[in-house]
């Protein structure tokens, strides 16, 4: 059996499989002019020989020049490649405890916990600002200052943003 006829057979069987799958799903291509015979609903494919032969040589030529593995790689060879030290994950030795909160942090990066707590407070301040301004692009051309509970503003003309909680220990005056 030559390779081309094998490929044709495989292609035909694939098409037949696709058609049968389509029939199952409900795409009935042969709904129009159908045979008035009670038989298998999958019509046999008419061989499109004229079409295939023109495209076959280009397809055939390309597969002869493609790289393909000669032998199956054994599990030992595969393990040597997958487990060599370059591919393994290295333990990080630049982790240290944060002096403020005690959670671990990388040496050259801000502590995640402390950053998160500052971010949450900043979000509340920003919400307050948006309530004060009302609409976008209403920011006054003055400095702003955030005042917490029981704090009096100093005599400077700054916009005051009030937060109804006590001052966080990390937000120095």
Least Å from the CB of residue 35 to another protein: 26
Least Å from the CB of residue 119 to another protein: 18
**3-to-7, 15, 79, 118 alpha-carbon distances in Å:** 6, 18, 35, 70
SS3 content of the chain, % helix, strand, coil (to 5): 40, 10, 50
Q: 61: burial class by Cβ within 10 Å (0-12, 13-18, 19+)?
A: exposed
> Which of 43, 63 has the CB closer to another protein?
63
Among 14, 22, 42, 60, binds another protein (CB under 8 A): 14
Segments in 26-84 forming alpha helices (H): 49-64, 75-82
How many residues of this chain interact with another protein, rule: CB under 8 A? Answer: 14
Least Å from the CB of residue 109 to another protein: 9
**Is residue 81 a contact residue for another protein (CB under 8 A)?**
no
Contacts of another protein in 84-143 (CB under 8 A): 87-89, 91-92, 95, 104, 106
- Applying CB under 8 A, which residues contact another protein? 11, 14-15, 18, 59, 82, 87-89, 91-92, 95, 104, 106
């Amino acid at each position: 059996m030559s390779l081309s006829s094998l490929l044709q057979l495989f292609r035909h069987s694939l098409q037949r499989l696709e058609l049968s799958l389509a029939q199952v799903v409900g795409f009935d291509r042969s709904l129009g002019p159908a045979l008035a015979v009670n038989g298998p609903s999958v019509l046999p494919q008419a061989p499109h020989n004229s079409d295939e032969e023109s495209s076959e040589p280009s397809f055939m030529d390309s597969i002869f020049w493609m790289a393909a593995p000669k032998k199956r790689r054994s599990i030992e060879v595969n393990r040597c490649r997958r487990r060599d030290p370059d591919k393994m994950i290295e333990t990080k030795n630049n982790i240290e405890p944060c002096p403020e909160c005690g959670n671990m942090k990388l040496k050259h990066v801000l502590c995640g916990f402390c950053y998160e707590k500052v971010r949450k407070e900043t979000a509340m301040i920003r919400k307050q600002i948006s309530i004060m301004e009302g609409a976008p692009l209403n920011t006054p051309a003055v400095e702003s200052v955030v005042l917490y509970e029981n704090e009096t503003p100093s005599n400077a003309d700054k916009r005051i943003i009030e937060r109804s909680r006590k001052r966080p220990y990390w937000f120095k005056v």
